[in-house]
Amino acid sequence: MQRDPHLLQEERATNVVLIANEIDIVSARQQGRQMAAEMGFTTTDQALIATAISELARNIIRYAGNGEVRLRRLAPRGRDAIEVVASDRGPGIANLDEAMLDGFTTSGGLGLGLPGSKRLMDEFQVATGLDGTTITALKFIGRVA
Amino acid sequence: MSNRLIKQRDYLVAVLDGASTDAGLIEFQAELSDEVGRQRAKAVIVDLGGLDVIDSFTARILSHLAVTLRLRGADPIMVGIHPDVAFAMVRQGLTLDGVATALDLDAGLDLLELRKLGAA
Amino acid sequence: MQTAPTTLPANAGMEDLWAVYEAHYADLGEIALSAVDAVPELYDVVKSLQARHEAGQAENRSEQTRRALKVAMLSGEWDAYINDVRDTGAAYAQAGLGFSVWSVVFSSFRQTFMRYLRDAYGNDLDRLSGAMHALAVFTDKSIGAIGDEYLRVREEVIQRQQEAIRELSTPVLKVRSGLLVLPLIGLIDGERARGFTARLLASIRSERARVVIIDLTGVPAVDSAVANHLVMAAKAARLLGATAIITGLSTVNATTLAKLGVDLGEVLTVADLEIGIEEASHLLHAAAVN
């Protein structure tokens, strides 16, 4: 993979997808998949990224009504990565610890699918409070730590 | 919103659309359930080939669909899951345990034929 | 990789060095280029890299380096310059230029520079000695940074090669129509497991396999993490309509798993590969359409 020294630390443009209804979920994950494809992610990784975006966008609609998903190409510590930031001004996640618990079952009750989407990405951070929630997830190309 | 119901070799096939809304799916589920009753179908093939992504929400809907169909006396067979989607599903812990599966529509139809012959 | 902090107190030697460098900047740049002419290998690489930059960009680059170097030599903050040199080193390392070529370039550069220093400060031995010391620090830092990049790039290449080897060592074999065997060998980590699972699933689809055997005969250590990966692979295979059979789990490993409380669940396990293939044949026969 050739690096252009001059563009190494530069960020590319950010894709912002406004999430207001279910069609936007489709749009967000398609854009995510496309960006990942352009960056050279394998099709398997593209599916993981698209799924995580879908999960996060769904949460926005269900629990906040609307919000946005931002997609960005980064190269932190010299490795290419895609960053997904899902944010909303909803009521926040009441019990974050509980929401991040495993023990998820397909026939199970309500859940935010957070532990699942965490497992799809390489880095996953949740910031939540009464004024909203921002989830930042990152996936690196190629080898995973 | 273009989930559709078709017939293949005398079997009922529900083809799901990846761009369908949740409401659309619920509506389709009702339609499917009615049709199963009307035709006294013993099995339904659910074709998931059109789903580019299966997240926890979708998996929950599929589980629900399977239960509904069984309650109406039809065994659901889920087919057409793309390898990458299957990989993403198990990574999230969504395994659709307890629901019969087959590679695609043809494989699903073969499975049903075998059952008819009493071999599977 | 740990590198030494690169902020040094400014000293007179560096200032003197910069004065001479600035005065002869174009000349010294030429040295590097004439060294290029002398080494054909270097020439091709430079040409191919330059072809990728527009003329305007190349000039800005040179200005950028010059400014960074001035800041480094006059205020002792080397970070910007070092990053610049690293980028250059990385580009040439990836282009396949041998590292030894750099010592030729630096040697040539140093000799010419020392001549200029003697011309400028020859009548003041202390000053000359200070400037020559600064020159040594400057060239050491530069070639050190380039060396670091070469190491890093080489490591990346090795990792890629290892990945390729890993892929070759876990082939998915088609034993007969509808039956695939995945013989695993060696230590299984998350990275490998994800790799062979993705490949297994792709093969299930392309070969329309209905049974897959994952053979562990060649895997010495099976702990709960490995068992987890295997269960995931089996569940994913099931989503594609294929039944997975695990074979070759040694008595030692089976006991370990039992002690750890690991249950492979509904994943079918069979003592050895032969029995596994027999079992698979039964499953397939039952499913064969005449």
E strands of C46-203, at which residues? 173-176, 179-185
End-to-end CA distance of chain A: 19
Closest CA–CA distance from residue A92 to any residue of chain C (Å) = 32
Same structural domain for residues C40 and C148?
A: yes
Would you tell me which CATH number, out of the four given (3.30.750.24, 3.40.50.150, 3.40.309.10, 3.30.1330.40), belongs to the domain B4-116? Answer: 3.30.750.24
Sorted by where each starts, the structural domains of chain A and their CATH numbers stand as 13-100+112-140 (3.30.565.10)
Contact B111, B99 (CB under 8 A): no
**In the numeric block, which tokens belong to residue C59?**
């000039």
Domain-located, residue C7: no
Is the alpha carbon torsion for C197, C199, C200, C204 positive or negative? positive
Give pLDDT tens digits for C35-44. 666 666 666 6
Closest CA to B52 of A114, C194, A29: A29
Which residues of C touch chain B, with CB atoms under 8 Å apart?
197-198, 201-202, 204-205, 208, 210, 232-233, 235-236, 238-242, 286-287, 289
Query: pLDDT tens per residue, chain C (290 residues)?
Result: 555 555 544 488 999 999 999 999 888 887 766 666 666 666 666 666 666 554 556 667 778 888 999 999 999 899 999 998 888 888 888 877 788 888 888 888 999 999 999 999 989 999 999 999 999 999 999 999 999 999 988 888 888 887 777 767 778 999 989 999 999 988 888 888 999 999 999 999 999 999 999 999 988 888 888 998 999 999 999 999 999 999 998 888 888 888 877 777 778 888 888 888 998 988 888 766 43
CA C91 to chain centre: 14
Angle in degrees, CA A39, A40, A43, rounded to 5:
120
* C263 occurs within a structural domain: yes
Q: Are the beta carbons of A26 and B22 separated by less than 8 Å?
A: no
- CB-CB under 8 Å, C91 with A3: yes
Q: Which of C94, C163, C191 sits opposite A3 (nearest CB)?
A: C94
- Residue C4 covered by a domain: no
B67 neighbourhood in chain A, CB within 8 Å: 107
Same domain, C186 and C214: yes
Element (DSSP H or E) covering residue A49? helix A43-64
**What is the domain extent for residue C20?**
12-163
CB C133 within 8 A of CB C13: yes
Positive/negative CA dihedral, C199, C201, C206, C209: positive
Tokens representing residue C155 in the block: 């490591």
> For residue B73, what are its two tokens?
């006396």
Of the partner residues B83, B114, B119, the one whose CB lies closest to the CB of residue C240 = B83
Query: Which tokens is A89 given?
Result: 């001004």
Q: Note the pLDDT tens digit of each residue in B36-92.
A: 999 999 999 999 999 999 999 899 999 999 999 999 999 999 999 999 999 999 999
C-alpha C247: how far from chain center: 35
Longest dimension (CA), chain B: 39
Q: Which residues contact B25 (CB under 8 A, 6 or more apart)?
A: B3, B16, B61
Asked if A79 and B24 touch (Cβ cutoff 8 Å), the reply is no
Find the farthest-apart pair of alpha carbons in chain A and give their distance in angstroms, rounded.
Answer: 51
By the 8 A CB rule, do B3 and B17 touch? yes
Q: Which residue has the tokens 């080494």?
A: C39
Provide the domain count of chain C.
2
Q: Which two tokens stand for residue C108?
A: 């040539």
End-to-end CA, chain C: 63
Report ipTM for this prediction. 0.95
C51: domain CATH number? Answer: 1.10.490.10
Q: What is the CATH number of the domain that holds C184?
A: 3.30.750.24
- The pTM score is 0.71
